[in-house]
Structure 1
Amino acid sequence: MESQFASVPRSFTATPWWMVMIEGIALFIVGLLLLFAPATTTILLVQILGWFWLISGIMAFVSMFIDRNQWGLKAVTGVLGILAGIVVIRHPLWSALMIPAFIVVFLAVQALITGLIQLYQGFKGGGLGVVVLGVVNIIFGIILLTAPLIAARALPLVLGIFAVIAGVATFASSFRLQDRQQISRSEPSAAI
């Protein structure tokens, strides 16, 4: 008898359901912190990012000595990671303002490029809907570029809302995963 969950990837069912539940709870808590203490939480998250960059830069150098393949790329990645990590760790307030502002500028440029591509596709036969999406993306990009610091200030709140929603959804999916794992454990494996 074939399982009704045969289409579920093996790596998905290999993750214990309780780990998915913990991930959902963590996302929910981070979302609440971003909503109710956005400045402090942003500084903390940026500091974690700084440590991550520093450690990944060091690990890039270590891997360069273990495996000589692409040593130039590893050296550049290592230097950039270490420098970015040190700057973020040494200047937490400045980094907490600049990193979200950089993300907003990046999103603005991406929205402008996507909008222009959608306009082109819309006028080449993609339809009115694609043209409207292109215009909306371009307007969104212009708004973000004209007020990146205001948008950067709103970014933690937006991320907080998304994290709360994703945390609840992930928490709920842990129960479905638990059911799937119990079903797959109770089914006899097919022997050839």
Structure 2
Amino acid sequence: MENETVSSDTFRSVEMLLLPWWLVLLQGIVTLGLGVLLLVWPIETLLILVTFLGAYWLVSGIVTLASVFVVSEYRGWRIVSGLLGIVAGVLVLLYPFFSTLFIPSFFAIFIGVWGILIGVLNIVSGVKGAGLGATALGIVSIILGILLLAHPLVGAAALVFVLGIFGVIGGITLIAASFTLRT
């Protein structure tokens, strides 16, 4: 009897976490549209996204800096974080074309370093007994990480198209899920 109560309570809490079907549909349409734009007009769309990112960093930096006067905890960290956000936002907004090249290249470099670290961990895991698959995955991850570090601009360009493909697939999936939620 107690298990039935737990599972019905769990079901109700999961049910409450679900978004209304129309909100999922709207999210799917926006995601699909953004994915298509990234595939059709990658540079223009990326320029707009980077500009929005710069505006976000600027506003977020101002809000974080203003929070110093309201919340006394971590005051030093808030000041540094706020100032960095303001500086990053202003730089992106002043130099949007440079930022459109720099930010995706930075992400490509970050993903390259991350790929190498994950690759090393997979190889160590494979040697310790996780198997040949983990070792092979680690080697592939290291190779891709090195390629991204060697050619970050190519990686950045590929990243835009990968995000576009994920946007299209994710948007279609969300649209289909919204109709499932509606019924």
Look up the equivalent residue of 2:46 and give its one-letter code: T
TM-score, normalised on structure 2?
0.91
Distance 2:62 2:182 in 1: 38
Q: Aligned pairs, how many?
A: 178
Q: 2:180 matched to 1:150?
A: no
| Matching residue within 101, 104, 107 for 2:105 | 101
Distance 1:37 1:108 in 2: 25
Q: 2:53 matched to 1:53?
A: no
| Matching residue within 6, 10, 15 for 2:11 | 6
Deviations 1:58-113 (A, max 9, x none): 11012211111111111111001000000000000000000000000000000000
Q: Once the 2 structures are TM-superposed, how far is the Cα of residue 20 of structure 1 from its aligned partner?
A: 1.4
Identical positions, percent? 42
Q: 2:45 matched to 1:41?
A: yes
Look up the equivalent residue of 1:54 and give its one-letter code: L
TM-score, normalised on structure 1?
0.87
Listed as ranges, the gaps of 5+ residues in structure 1 are 180-192
Q: Once the 2 structures are TM-superposed, how far is the Cα of residue 8 of structure 1 from its aligned partner?
A: 5.9
Q: How does 1:15-94 map to 2 (within 5 A)?
A: 15-94=19-98
- RMSD over aligned CA atoms reads 1.9
Look up the equivalent residue of 2:179 and give its one-letter code: F
Q: Once the 2 structures are TM-superposed, how far is the Cα of residue 178 of structure 1 from its aligned partner?
A: 2.8
| Matching residue within 134, 138, 142 for 2:138 | 134
